[in-house]
Amino acid sequence: MSCPPIRNSLTSTPSAWAASTPSANWRARPCRKRGDAVAGTHVLLLRCSGPLQSWGVESLFTTRDTLREPTKSGAVGLLAAALGRPRGADLADLAALKMGVRVDQEGTLLRDYHTAGQDGYATSTGGVEWTNVIVTKRYYLQDARFLVALEGEDLSFLSDLQRALADPVWALFLGRKACVPGEPVWLADGLQPETRLEAALRGYPWLVPAARVRNGRRPERLRLVLEDLQGEAIRPDQPISFHERDRRYAPRRVHTSWCPCPERSLDEEVLPCSSPA
């Protein structure tokens, strides 16, 4: 079974947005002025792991697709939710971050069959309005694990994002609201100063627990998907606006390569267990 082909459209729905309305005790973190940036580039790492994930770029009408790895619109949606930004907020600072993904566990594709509209509904005149049954197909990734990296030049800004992931304003989801993380998105050592995107992805421990390695055998290599102006593939997932009435996305280029699977798993590393202050 394969996912339906993805067309090069710039009008797809956002891959992830954690909440549509803020709670009563809404505490969105204010947009911080740029500055205080440390020379060079820095990387923030996120873990996307859960029973189900769905990262769509062509989710129109009755078919809700998914890519095989997180989209940039999905990653920006996670960060915006952690910061508590409303849908209409400016995304320029988040969208400017360069993104890469390491696929630690590919997962399997699931097609979920939905029907809606079987029963009628009461009208204001006291009658019943009958509707036709609508059949939809929704695609998910099962048991996938991804290491997502975001590169920028402002270390202070990435530190703010790291703290927000540890204590998010709104709940975080892996592409759709039904897809909750199976493990924290926040990584204790996820902030990697003075490094580059690909180096951070290659050097971080494998996200699959050692106890889940079958017969002690690890894959020889892991797939990398890196944002690259000279990349061979185009993804329509560069977010411009998440506003409900003005959802806009631009294309971006990505390059796919491979890296050796790290020799150690993350659960074999000694890491701090507390969230950042």
Q: Identify the residue whose tokens are 């796919």.
A: 256
Residues 6+ apart with CB under 8 A from 223: 69, 102, 103, 106, 256, 257, 258
Q: Give 105-145 pLDDT, tens digit per residue.
A: 999 999 998 777 666 667 778 777 766 677 888 999 999 99
What does the domain layout of the chain look like in residue ranges? 42-110+138-209+217-263
What pTM does this model have? 0.79
pLDDT of residue 272: 55
CATH annotation of 42-110+138-209+217-263: 3.30.70.2660
Which residue shows structure tokens 């202050």?
A: 277
Span between the terminal Cα atoms of the chain, in Å = 46
pLDDT in tens, 31-62: 444 444 445 999 999 999 999 999 988 777 77
